[in-house]
Structure 1
Amino acid sequence: MSTPTLAPAALTPVDPAYAAAVAPFVTTLQPRPDLVVEARGPGDVVAAVRWAGAEGRAVTVQATGHQLLTDLGGSVLVSTRHLDSVRVDPATRTAVVGGGARWQQVIAAATPHGLAPICGSSSHVGVVGFCLGGGHGPLSRAFGTGADQVRRVRIVTADGVERDVDDVREPELFAALLGGKTGFGIVTEIEIALHPVTRLHGGGIFFPGEASPQLLAAWREWVGTFSDETSSSIALLRLPPDPALPPPLRGAFVTHLRFAHLGTADEGAAILAPMRAVATPIVDMVDEMPFAAIDAIHSDPTEPMPIWDDSATLSVLPAEAVDALLAVAGPGVETPLIMAELRHLGGAIARRPQRGHDAVAGRDAAFHLYALAPMFPPVAAVAPAAARSVVDALRPWASGGLPNFQGPAAGGRLGPLWDDPTTAFLTRVREAYDPDGMFRTVGLRG
């Protein structure tokens, strides 16, 4: 196979730098593209796409590698991780972000101006993949999804043309990108809205896992009282005996309540009081916090690891659904699961912006269910079934899924995440801009 002439290099599996160039954050699957191009600028992306088109090669893209669905075999992988510039305009409350930048870089650039992005639960995730997949985070109930913040996208389409798209310039492609996730091209730059948020009342509370029946029962009713300024999730965690964890949490089964409130500290404490009264906390970390510390709410892992995850959106969460979750992940259950999580949705997530059409999935969902298991021996053989058992247990109340939570269980397929009209729209736009299927959905950008 001939290779394109690009700077700095087009790498094949025999090159010493290949492994580092393709290394993902989620290491369950090891990417094995035929060729990897590490783009140092938009011109490298254009050249790689034009070369692949001339050679009849499939193209995939990776920024941080948080969300691989296949091993990318047979494709040309364009890595955008070096396209990580961030420019903040305080006057317009916007940021222009390179295709490979992570949220932590946007937060670092925005917070000195008293501004904040609508990011996810971990700032280690890539901005583009988050926003193109919809994007749900601790402030989404107040401000909408990550896709709702996007003002402009610069993308290299299958014809090797770099395009600026927005509500006016190629609006159908722009609408498809907002939630359609993948298969339209390679994003080199994205412009997003920022918000005047400097602090919040939030954090996490770790309760004994044995109290999970009482906590989940109280939580499902408690979140129904929220205004849009308040959000919460709750997770059943089986923590490893990690020396980095506080001693009471090492190797423990716990219930982790996550909380974020944009109002005053007194308001936040009053809202949280009913849950604090349900059980005695092991560790209570909810307090006033600067926005830059938002990762502390979920305390997601920051080191690469192999996992198997499965997920679904839920239309409702009746008491029977809580019982079903406890039956597969609650106290006394032998399971390799690290986490079984429920996130409360609604609020601004459910309201489509007035600007026009988009492809954000799950706006009508009330909750999101997520299950995660490690793929380490000896539990790797049973991890997929354990994650699937959580989703299957709550299947009667499931309404669909979110693109950003489709892991290896999706098998490289997006599945029925959108309604029929949106699926038809996405298919039509993909065929218009990529008629030969160059950007095959053999993986989701992460």
Structure 2
Amino acid sequence: MTTSVTAPALLRPEDAEFTAAVAPFVTTLTPRPDLVVAARSPGDVVAAVRWAGAEGRPVTVQATGHQLVSDLAGSVLISTRDLDGVRVDPVARTAVVGGGARWKQVIAASAPHGLAPVSGSSSNVGVAGFCLGGGHGPLSRAFGTGADQVRRIRVVTADGIERDVDATREPDLFAVMCGGKAGFGVVTEIEIALHPVSRLYGGGIFFPGEASPQVLHAWREWIATLPDEASSSVALLRLPPDPSLPPPLQGAFVAHLRFAYLGTAEEGAALLAPMRAVAEPVADMVDEMPFAAIDAIHADPTEPMPVWDDSATLSELPAEAVDALLAAAGPGVDTPLIIAELRQLGGAIARRPDRAHDAVAGRDAGFTLYALAPMFPPVAAIAPAATRAVVDALRPRVDGGLPNFQGLASGGRLGALWDAETLAWLTSVREQYDPAGMFRTVGLR
């Protein structure tokens, strides 16, 4: 190892800083790599990759640990979480983002310029991993996937070379990284487009759980009326008795309607009126908001926890599919699930960029289906079966999945998310840049 990677950037399991350096957001697994390189600069990444290549060691990469699907045993883990710089160019409407930065940093840097990124439902997620896996969020129906926003990637490939790739420089490598998710190198910097968005009309409406059949069936018909500037999802939530929640939601079973609209509040209220009329809400939190408050729409958890999740994309959502979801996770069902969710896709997500190949999976899907259960005793033993039951209930409509929603349940399914031609292309480019398979991937090699 060269002198650019030194303690405390170089950590072994016996070191005091090791546990904090490998700590993931999803704590179901405990990472146990042989060695951690806590990169402070792109030079540290280059040195680590060259050393691993010379030693014949496999390499894994982690920024935030939101999608940990193995314990990383036997690998050299390159942690990029400290590569978190963000530079915004308000004239070009772009942001140059370090490989370990989170969306909250990009949002904070963009907001003073009246700009916003196509980020996910939680600003705690890492930018690079989100974009490399496609990336879907409240602005995606209006502007496309996170991968569609990428203008340039700086990546250290398996030969230890740091490359700037874009649509004209090594375009195949650039294209596979915009959606192909993993196995191509270590991202040290990524440049993304920003959009002139400073506010929106959005938030969540919590309906009582017993009204969830009416809410889900109404939602299924209502979303067909929405313009691309609007997006929505609906989730069956079994909330904990958490005192930080509003009293009506503590320990409650609710149907949570999520809504985001880029037009005026008056237009948004008119669009939302049919859903507000379905049932008396427990809480209605939809209103005009600055984009910087976008986390309030989904209100995703902010603290690490052990979970088991499963997911799929759906080709369509007929009434019988809603009934099947309700039978698996609706009122009266004894289940450890925290969430069973449907998200609307379509709009700009379905519009392919002007590239020879497109690595984004699930563009033509109509919906995503997602289920999550905690891995705390005593329900940990039944959590995998509970999440699988939700996906199996809608199996006739399942047409694939999204890389960023592949949790522990994915097993070796990641490669099945692309058609045979696209997968062959991804594999060919991966083998061109990493012929020895240094960068570990799950279900792709």
Contact 1:24 1:65 in 2 (8 A): yes
C-alpha distance 412-16 of structure 1, shift in aligned 2 (>3 A) = farther
SS in 1 for 2:231: strand
Structure 2 runs not aligned, ≥5 long: none
Q: Which amino acid in structure 2 is aligned with residue 433 of structure 1? A: Y
SS in 2 for 1:354: coil
Contact 2:175 2:355 in 1 (8 A): no
- TM-superposed deviation, 1:442: 4.4
Partner residue, 2:287? 287
Partner residue, 1:187? 187
Q: For 1:40-55, list aligned pairs within 5 A.
A: 40-55=40-55
Partner residue, 2:96? 96
- TM-superposed deviation, 1:190: 0.1
C-alpha distance 397-442 of structure 1, shift in aligned 2 (>3 A) = closer
Partner residue, 2:10? 10
Cα separation, 1, equivalents of 2:34 and 2:411: 20
Contact 1:72 1:442 in 2 (8 A): no
Contact 1:413 1:441 in 2 (8 A): no
C-alpha distance 443-425 of structure 1, shift in aligned 2 (>3 A) = closer
Q: Which amino acid in structure 2 is aligned with residue 330 of structure 1? A: G
Cα separation, 2, equivalents of 1:412 and 1:315: 22
SS in 2 for 1:328: helix
Cα separation, 2, equivalents of 1:353 and 1:228: 17
SS in 2 for 1:416: helix
- TM-superposed deviation, 1:410: 1.4
- TM-superposed deviation, 1:356: 4.3
Contact 1:4 1:51 in 2 (8 A): no
Are 1:76 and 2:76 counterparts? yes
Q: For 1:157-196, list aligned pairs within 5 A.
A: 157-196=157-196
Cα separation, 2, equivalents of 1:200 and 1:120: 15
Contact 2:9 2:40 in 1 (8 A): no
Cα separation, 2, equivalents of 1:28 and 1:414: 19
The alignment covers a number of residue pairs equal to: 443
Q: For 1:171-320, list aligned pairs within 5 A.
A: 171-320=171-320
Cα separation, 1, equivalents of 2:437 and 2:355: 29
C-alpha distance 378-431 of structure 1, shift in aligned 2 (>3 A) = same
RMSD, aligned CA: 1.3
Query: TM-score under structure 1 normalisation?
Result: 0.98
Contact 1:412 1:441 in 2 (8 A): no
C-alpha distance 260-306 of structure 1, shift in aligned 2 (>3 A) = same
Contact 2:361 2:418 in 1 (8 A): yes
- TM-superposed deviation, 1:31: 0.5
Are 1:324 and 2:324 counterparts? yes
Q: Any idea what the Cα deviations from partners look like across 1:202-239, whole Å, max 9, x if unmatched?
A: 00000001100000000011001111011000000000
Q: For 1:408-423, list aligned pairs within 5 A.
A: 408-411=408-411, 414-423=414-423
Partner residue, 2:334? 334
Partner residue, 1:436? 436
Cα separation, 2, equivalents of 1:416 and 1:69: 16
The more displaced of 415-424 and 188-197 is: 415-424
- TM-superposed deviation, 1:6: 1.0
- TM-superposed deviation, 1:12: 1.1
Contact 1:69 1:443 in 2 (8 A): no
Contact 1:70 1:443 in 2 (8 A): no
Partner residue, 1:64? 64
| Larger RCO, structure (CA 8 Å, separation 6 or more) | 1
Cα separation, 1, equivalents of 2:120 and 2:9: 33
SS in 2 for 1:145: coil
SS in 2 for 1:180: coil
Structure 1 residue runs of 4 or more that deviate by more than 4 Å after TM superposition: 2-5
Cα separation, 2, equivalents of 1:196 and 1:3: 44
Cα separation, 2, equivalents of 1:421 and 1:364: 16
Contact 1:37 1:79 in 2 (8 A): yes
- TM-superposed deviation, 1:443: 9.3
Cα separation, 1, equivalents of 2:279 and 2:241: 23
Q: Any idea what the Cα deviations from partners look like across 1:69-97, whole Å, max 9, x if unmatched?
A: 10000110000000000000001000000
Cα separation, 1, equivalents of 2:9 and 2:404: 30
Q: Which amino acid in structure 1 is aligned with residue 48 of structure 2? A: A
- TM-superposed deviation, 1:414: 1.5
**Share of identical aligned residues, percent?**
80
Q: Any idea what the Cα deviations from partners look like across 1:117-145, whole Å, max 9, x if unmatched?
A: 00000000000000000000001000000
Cα separation, 1, equivalents of 2:197 and 2:9: 41
Partner residue, 2:400? 400
Cα separation, 1, equivalents of 2:415 and 2:175: 20
Q: Which amino acid in structure 1 is aligned with residue 344 of structure 2? A: H
Cα separation, 2, equivalents of 1:249 and 1:310: 25
Cα separation, 1, equivalents of 2:285 and 2:4: 52
SS in 2 for 1:292: helix
Contact 2:4 2:43 in 1 (8 A): no
Cα separation, 1, equivalents of 2:121 and 2:174: 25
The more displaced of 396-405 and 354-363 is: 354-363
Cα separation, 1, equivalents of 2:50 and 2:158: 8
Contact 1:401 1:417 in 2 (8 A): yes
Cα separation, 2, equivalents of 1:145 and 1:219: 23
